[in-house]
Copies of this chain bind each other. A is one copy, B any other.
Amino acid sequence: MIAVLRYGHRGLRDKRTSSHLGLVARAFGADLLVMTVDDEKVRSTLEDVVKNWGGAFSVEVKRNWRKFLRDFKGVRVHLTMYGMPLDDVIGKIRSQVKGKDLLIFVGAEKVPPEVYELCEWNVAVGNQPHSEIAALAVFLDRLFQGEELSRRFEGARMEIVPQERGKKINTY
């Protein structure tokens, strides 16, 4: 099981970025988005996508994220521009995760210093400021070595048939 913990979510300001983050989590192979703040719009966006595009992705709210992070049984990875270069550590993380659960901690705002201590890994997807959405995608892409991009989702009502031009969708 792979969970993505979205730390912080400042209402209107983060509505779309948290939705993007959840959609990336699902599309790139995670099973669960944990929000620290409830947002009905984010939840319904993800629920609609799961209904139409399949898979078993879900969203939970854990206001007490500290307890959730502390008690998590498995490997905890914090994505931060200050951390160790992704390509230096991804091999070790991949072996550690085998047969274990993985929690990926992703901040929307400044992250309390204890997170750097509680997580086994602080990982930088490049040491430049960019986007936690991009960081999550590239991290999962490296973890799964690109295989997540051709994954099929069970129970999908809609599936795209790749085209050089235009759009083709199969519906079931």
Determine whether the beta carbon of A87 is less than 8 Å from that of B166. no
Residue total for A at the interface (Cβ-Cβ under 8 A): 55
Determine whether the beta carbon of A162 is less than 8 Å from that of B27. no
- Least CB distance from A159 to B in Å reads 7
Residues of A139-170 contacting chain B, CB below 8 A: 141, 146, 148-151, 153, 159-160, 162-169
Residue of B with least CB distance to A121 = B164
Instruction: Select the stretch in A11-19, A31-39, A62-70 that faces chain B.
Output: A11-19
- Least CB distance from A6 to B in Å reads 14
- Least CB distance from A135 to B in Å reads 8
Task: State whether A130 and B164 are in contact (beta carbons under 8 Å apart), knowing that A13-B16, A16-B13, A17-B20 are contacts in the complex.
Answer: no
Determine whether the beta carbon of A166 is less than 8 Å from that of B113. yes
Task: State whether A83 and B126 are in contact (beta carbons under 8 Å apart), knowing that A136-B134, A141-B138 are contacts in the complex.
Answer: no
Residues of A43-62 contacting chain B, CB below 8 A: 49, 53
| A49 surroundings in chain B (CB, below 8 A) | 129
Chain A residues with CB under 8 Å of chain B are: 12-14, 16-17, 20-21, 23-24, 26-28, 49, 53, 81-87, 113, 116-117, 122, 124-131, 133-134, 136-138, 141, 146, 148-151, 153, 159-160, 162-169
Which A-B residue pairs are the 6 nearest by beta carbons?
Answer: A134-B137, A20-B131, A127-B160, A27-B130, A27-B128, A82-B167
**What are 7 A-to-B residue pairs whose CB atoms are below 8 Å?**
A26-B128, A28-B130, A82-B162, A82-B168, A83-B162, A122-B165, A137-B138
